[in-house]
Structure 1
Amino acid sequence: MMMKRLKKSLLVLAAILFALPSFLVTAASNESKPGEISSKDEVVYAKLSANGERQEIYVVNILDINKAGKIVDYGHYSNLKNLSDLAPLEQIDNTVEFTATEGKFYYQGNMNEKALPWNISVSYLLDGKQIAPEELAGKEGHVEIRIATSANKEVDQVFFENYLLQISLTLNLELFSDIQAPNGMLANAGKSKQVTFTVMPEKEEELVVEADVVDFELDGIDITAIPSSLPIDAPNIDDMTGEIHTLTDAIKEVDDGVGALANGVSELNNGVKGLSNGSKQYKDGMYAIAHSSSELVNASGQIEGALDKLSTNLSANSENMNLGDVKKLEEGLVQISGGLKETTKGLTTLKENYATAYSALNTAMAAIPEYEISEEQIQQLYGSGADQQVLDQLIETYSTARTAKGTYLSVQEAFVAVDGTLVQVSGALLEMASQLEQIANGLSTSLEEMNIAESITQLRDGVSQLSSNYRAFHSGLVKYTGGVSQLSSSYSELHNGVVALSDGTGKLESGASQLHDGTTELYEATSDLPEQIKEEVDQMMSEYDKSDFEPVSFVSSKNEDINSVQFVLKTESIKQEEAEESEKTVEEVKGFWARLVELFK
């Protein structure tokens, strides 16, 4: 058995030795002719401290050789390592040369002085106080891990502008609980919880992970950067824009409704202005009537006294009256008749003015709408989003208008009675004046016919009846003027309410106009909102759609045919110190021939 194995090993060794000169000849032949690269990939590995500071960077270059021969690549490395075969790598300044056969060729180059495209900063807080990572191991409490990323201005911004970062932490659930990551995604991974963050191109972020911890330990934070080169399909926003169309239509209806409200309020305000003017005329008329009532009552009292005295004198001295006395009596009666007629004219004018004022007041009051707004409708108005101050003014004006109209309707009979009473008073005075005039004419006729005794008797009877009637009239006039005075005083309060209503509707018209301006502006701003949303979505998608991005080399701008460049970064782990092992295993460094011999064991 041993002989067979030895024989087999010798045959393999002989085959290798036989092929080795041919391989060396082929390699020597390839060194003399240039090779060709169809594409190149770069994977940048970086080791960071627990705080995110750069410690070590190396790049694994993967070249796709489509023609064997001498290959030239570019990059400034502090150390090179061939990962494909044992062929040597030669570096002169920023040029790397080697010989390769067709297929994939891998080599590693260390670049410890090269800066990364991102500034990474990691800080730790324990129970709200910042703590160094080396002091955090084994601690317990509430921990915060803050990861800040920003652009490194010293490096080509093409990576920051086109690459997205994926940052992940793996937290042992036996140590960590109540894990919170506001901007991250949490996923279960066995007995661990994985927290993943994504930072979009051109964005600088500060990411936070919070948790309660015992015996703090943390594996390194993994950070990968890849180009955001996948095409992004625009989302279907037809349903959303359709709903927004419905919204803009509703806003248009609101705007039209508020416009109608503003027009209605304007008409109401004009009507209330007319009401205020009519109310002022009426108040002034009533004031004039009330203040002239005393004069009217005094004059009427004088007439009553004169008629009563005349009746008494006629009854007592009718037999002693001579022609001169009768003539004076006739003149006095004519004067009294003329005075009553003048009073009648004044009352007629007063009646006309009162009728005009009352008509204006009644028309303005009738213009106030009869409809009622329910409490439910008022709450719906407040819930519509309309300006609350304007709505408060609207409700206040509505209540004031309803109160004013209710008060007016309750005293309207008194207003109507004034007009009728003025007609009656004026008619009664005119009738009295006619009677006095007839008496005076009767006296004149009697003088002409010289039937003085009979005329005086008729005069005495007529004056007595007139005096009795006028006494009743004067009593009614006193009551009437008292009622007018009370009505004038009461109406002053009503007029003050009408003036306040007019001020309120004026403010309401201004507020409704502003509200309409606001709803119009809102409609104009939202009428093309669906189109604006589409434009914003397209613009946003264009910002994140990097499908036209052409990769460039991180190692050297001279490298061409770059297929992809990726970054793999990892921070140091934070672990509790372990006891040193009593014995250390030292790995034996074996040469090429030693490893070759092992193949046959």
Structure 2
Amino acid sequence: MSRIKKTLFIFMAIVLVLPSFLVTAESNEKESEEETTEQVGVVSSKDEVVYATLSPSGEEQELYVVNNFEVEKAGEIVDYGTYSNLKNLTDLSEIKQAENTVKFTAPEGKFYYQGNIDNEPLPWDINISYTLDGENITPSELAGKDGHLELNIKTLANEQVDGVFYENYMLQISLTLDPSLYHNIEAPDGIIANAGKNKQITFTVMPEKDGDLSLEADVEAFELNGIDITAIPSSMAIDAPDMNDMTGDMDTLNDAIKEINDGVGELKSGVSDLNDGVVSLQDGSKQYKDGIAGISNTSSGLVDASKSIDSALVTMKDSIGGNSSEMDLGELTALPEGLTQIAKALKETATGLVTLKDNFATAYGTFDSAIQAIPANDITQEEIDTLRESNPDNAALEKLINTYDATSAVKEAYTGIKEGFNAVGPTLDTISGTISEIAGGLETTATELSSALEDMDVTESIGKLQDGLATLSSSYKEFHTGLVSYTGGVSELSTSYNELHAGIVELTGGTTELEDGVAELHDGTGKLYESTNDLPDQMQDEVDQMIAEYDKSDFDSKSFVSSDNNEKINTVQFVLKTESIQIEEPETTEEPVKEEKGFWDKLWDLF
């Protein structure tokens, strides 16, 4: 019986255990089969948001990444990154990690998980410093203080991290200030806006740029909420502005500069011709001055000679007026020849005066044309002062002003003596004609005297000769008086013309400087035209270069946690925040309040 009972007991045990064993074996077999047939998931894109907590001075304290997957096909997903801790933010399924490989099973749609990272540097070195009333102060010492606050934020590229983020990401730094604590807020590089009852200050640091940002304010009982720093790719496309209007204006400006350059070129040519004319005027003026001076220098001799002739005529008249019987007829017979020689000399003098008149007319015509060619522009001293104020230290302008003053002085002087110039020609004609008449009279007298000596009675002839000599002597006295007046006028003209010639010499120097100044001005306008000739193209190149510098629309995002392995990265963003600086509240110790237990609580305590 005992053996039967024992056998029956064993059989019953087998019956009871076998179904459980079969079920377990079947379950293990199914799990093994499921593991071998696990589907591979497909990810269409991945986003990474890097969160970091910084100290109030900018040192990194905690860093974690939220990975966001757009799962196109459910199944096993493989991601890469070296994390110290993982957390599934989507469901309760397990996430496995082996070294830098992360595996998880994700359903179709959005899937999130968080990974904490230890000792991983950010792409930017951030330094935040504080001064109160001009003294450096630590954040812990600053809480609750009053005074004038200066806050400085500096951002630099971190050489330990791939430069792709520094080169393509834009930093946005924002602070929120309580107006009841902060007054007279100044942020030269930031934008101050209202955010509810608070003031929000926002700074922007462009890609590939270091930030040096400052904020000043008067503060009471200092407290500061955390500073928010966001880094996003500057991927917005920048449309090139329509440069047609601007380049059209530049073309118009360039055409105007060309016209100015051409006009200055014509001015240069005109001034060169003017200078050549003034140089010729100076040469002619010198010849005229020398001629007038020569005439003036010989005037005294001419007056003396005329005085001698006058004396001789008086002596002859007086001699003939005496007793004819006592006269030396031999000397009388020589008188016609002497009168003829005097007449010849007077004719030569008349011819010389005609030549002098012609030369004077030629020189005066050249001089008058040159003076008339000088523009009669009346420029006021106020206009000159305005030009000097608008063009300080302009040597060419000063040359132009000096030349204008010199030409104005010459023209004014010429206007004053022009009547004297105009009277020279007629005076020379009158004198030349008078001398010619006197010469003719002497020749007639000589001829008549010679005939009288040959054919007529000596006494009668001498009487006639005496009358003729008396008439000639009387006429010659008038001529001599006119000659003295003429030589005085020539002397005065010579003296006045010396001053005029000095002005012409100064004018020549001025026009020479003017020609040099206009030449320099033409060179300057020529260089200006050359430098602005392709200005529209230069502007377009500058605009294209600026756009290329900030247009990151062709940037392809790279993973922050594993740039070599993670693919299909849509965006990577950085969200950084500093710890707040707050006034510490005093600790209070409170006694715990004892509550009366109910029936069910007491019943539960029994178990």
Question: Aligned pair 1:409/2:418, yes or no?
Answer: no
Equivalent position to 1:305, from 311, 316, 330? 311
Provide closer, same or farther for how the CA distance between residues 26 and 149 of structure 1 changes in structure 2, counting only shifts above 3 A.
farther
SS in 2 for 1:570: strand
Deviation track 1:244-280 (CA, whole Å, cap 9, x = no partner) reads: 4443444444444444443443343333333333332
Give the letter for the 2:507 counterpart: L
Task: Give aligned-pair identity as a percent.
Answer: 56
CA shift, 1:388, in A, is: 5.2
Residue 564 of structure 1 aligns with which residue? Answer: 571
Question: Aligned pair 1:137/2:148, yes or no?
Answer: no
SS in 2 for 1:560: coil
Question: Aligned pair 1:114/2:120, yes or no?
Answer: yes
Question: Aligned pair 1:181/2:193, yes or no?
Answer: no
Residue 542 of structure 2 aligns with which residue? Answer: 536
Question: Aligned pair 1:501/2:507, yes or no?
Answer: yes
Provide closer, same or farther for how the CA distance between residues 437 and 389 of structure 1 changes in structure 2, counting only shifts above 3 A.
same
Cα distance between partner residues in 1 of 2:257 and 2:347: 68
Structure 1 contact 30–69 (Cα < 8 Å) conserved:
no
Residue 147 of structure 1 aligns with which residue? Answer: 153
SS in 1 for 2:566: coil
Provide closer, same or farther for how the CA distance between residues 124 and 280 of structure 1 changes in structure 2, counting only shifts above 3 A.
farther
SS in 2 for 1:71: strand
Equivalent position to 1:80, from 78, 86, 105? 86
Unaligned runs of 5+ in 1: 1-20, 586-601
Provide closer, same or farther for how the CA distance between residues 482 and 82 of structure 1 changes in structure 2, counting only shifts above 3 A.
same
Provide closer, same or farther for how the CA distance between residues 159 and 411 of structure 1 changes in structure 2, counting only shifts above 3 A.
same
Residue 321 of structure 1 aligns with which residue? Answer: 327
Residue 7 of structure 2 aligns with which residue? Answer: none
Question: Aligned pair 1:169/2:170, yes or no?
Answer: no
Greater shift, 130-139 or 209-218, is seen at 130-139
Deviation track 1:60-87 (CA, whole Å, cap 9, x = no partner) reads: 2223333444432222233333333444
Equivalent position to 1:454, from 456, 460, 476? 460
CA shift, 1:354, in A, is: 1.6
Question: Aligned pair 1:355/2:361, yes or no?
Answer: yes
Structure 1 contact 30–70 (Cα < 8 Å) conserved:
no
Cα distance between partner residues in 2 of 1:183 and 1:388: 39
CA shift, 1:28, in A, is: 7.1
Cα distance between partner residues in 2 of 1:87 and 1:439: 156
SS in 2 for 1:279: helix
Structure 1 contact 30–68 (Cα < 8 Å) conserved:
no
CA shift, 1:374, in A, is: 7.0
Question: Aligned pair 1:51/2:57, yes or no?
Answer: yes
Residue 225 of structure 1 aligns with which residue? Answer: 231
Aligned length: 564
Equivalent position to 2:496, from 487, 490, 495? 490
Alignment of 1:4-403 (within 5 A): 29=35, 34-316=40-322, 318-370=324-376, 372=378, 389-403=395-409
Residue 576 of structure 1 aligns with which residue? Answer: 583
CA shift, 1:337, in A, is: 2.6
Deviation track 1:492-532 (CA, whole Å, cap 9, x = no partner) reads: 22222222222222222332333333334334433443343
Residue 443 of structure 1 aligns with which residue? Answer: 449
Q: TM-score, normalised by structure 2?
A: 0.83
Cα distance between partner residues in 1 of 2:33 and 2:322: 171
Provide closer, same or farther for how the CA distance between residues 574 and 496 of structure 1 changes in structure 2, counting only shifts above 3 A.
farther
Give the letter for the 2:354 counterpart: T
Residue 11 of structure 1 aligns with which residue? Answer: none
Cα distance between partner residues in 1 of 2:480 and 2:349: 14
CA shift, 1:436, in A, is: 2.3
Cα distance between partner residues in 1 of 2:453 and 2:58: 138
CA shift, 1:536, in A, is: 2.8
Residue 523 of structure 2 aligns with which residue? Answer: 517
Give the letter for the 1:53 counterpart: E
Cα distance between partner residues in 1 of 2:164 and 2:416: 84
Cα distance between partner residues in 1 of 2:37 and 2:297: 131
Cα distance between partner residues in 2 of 1:304 and 1:205: 109
Deviation track 1:554-592 (CA, whole Å, cap 9, x = no partner) reads: 11121111111001112232333332343699xxxxxxx
Provide closer, same or farther for how the CA distance between residues 128 and 274 of structure 1 changes in structure 2, counting only shifts above 3 A.
farther
SS in 2 for 1:121: strand
Deviation track 1:522-557 (CA, whole Å, cap 9, x = no partner) reads: 344334433433333233223322222111111112
Cα distance between partner residues in 2 of 1:159 and 1:249: 46
Greater shift, 68-77 or 417-426, is seen at 68-77
Give the letter for the 2:420 counterpart: A
Structure 1 contact 282–361 (Cα < 8 Å) conserved:
no
SS in 1 for 2:321: helix
Structure 1 contact 307–467 (Cα < 8 Å) conserved:
yes
Provide closer, same or farther for how the CA distance between residues 546 and 470 of structure 1 changes in structure 2, counting only shifts above 3 A.
same
CA shift, 1:123, in A, is: 2.5
SS in 1 for 2:208: coil
SS in 1 for 2:441: helix
Cα distance between partner residues in 2 of 1:337 and 1:558: 129
SS in 2 for 1:50: coil
CA shift, 1:208, in A, is: 2.1
Structure 1 contact 334–440 (Cα < 8 Å) conserved:
yes
Provide closer, same or farther for how the CA distance between residues 399 and 99 of structure 1 changes in structure 2, counting only shifts above 3 A.
same
Give the letter for the 1:228 counterpart: S
Residue 465 of structure 1 aligns with which residue? Answer: 471
Structure 1 contact 255–516 (Cα < 8 Å) conserved:
yes
Provide closer, same or farther for how the CA distance between residues 37 and 273 of structure 1 changes in structure 2, counting only shifts above 3 A.
same
Provide closer, same or farther for how the CA distance between residues 441 and 148 of structure 1 changes in structure 2, counting only shifts above 3 A.
same
SS in 2 for 1:42: strand
Structure 1 contact 318–457 (Cα < 8 Å) conserved:
no
Provide closer, same or farther for how the CA distance between residues 531 and 294 of structure 1 changes in structure 2, counting only shifts above 3 A.
same
Find the structure with the greater CA-based Rg.
Answer: 2
Structure 1 contact 81–108 (Cα < 8 Å) conserved:
yes
CA shift, 1:415, in A, is: 0.5
Cα distance between partner residues in 2 of 1:212 and 1:584: 42
SS in 2 for 1:473: helix
Cα distance between partner residues in 1 of 2:256 and 2:235: 41
Greater shift, 312-321 or 286-295, is seen at 312-321
Cα distance between partner residues in 1 of 2:179 and 2:36: 56
CA shift, 1:452, in A, is: 2.9
Structure 1 contact 60–107 (Cα < 8 Å) conserved:
yes
Cα distance between partner residues in 1 of 2:216 and 2:36: 58
Unaligned runs of 5+ in 2: 1-26, 593-607
Give the letter for the 1:167 counterpart: I
CA shift, 1:322, in A, is: 2.0
CA shift, 1:41, in A, is: 1.3
Structure 1 contact 31–99 (Cα < 8 Å) conserved:
no
Q: TM-score, normalised by structure 1?
A: 0.84
CA shift, 1:194, in A, is: 0.8
Give the letter for the 2:289 counterpart: K
Give the letter for the 1:197 counterpart: F
CA shift, 1:332, in A, is: 3.1
Deviation track 1:81-114 (CA, whole Å, cap 9, x = no partner) reads: 3333444444333223334444333222233322
Q: Give RMSD over aligned pairs.
A: 3.2
Cα distance between partner residues in 1 of 2:262 and 2:591: 88
SS in 1 for 2:238: coil
Cα distance between partner residues in 2 of 1:489 and 1:452: 53
Structure 1 contact 148–206 (Cα < 8 Å) conserved:
yes
Provide closer, same or farther for how the CA distance between residues 446 and 246 of structure 1 changes in structure 2, counting only shifts above 3 A.
same
SS in 2 for 1:61: strand
Cα distance between partner residues in 2 of 1:310 and 1:154: 130
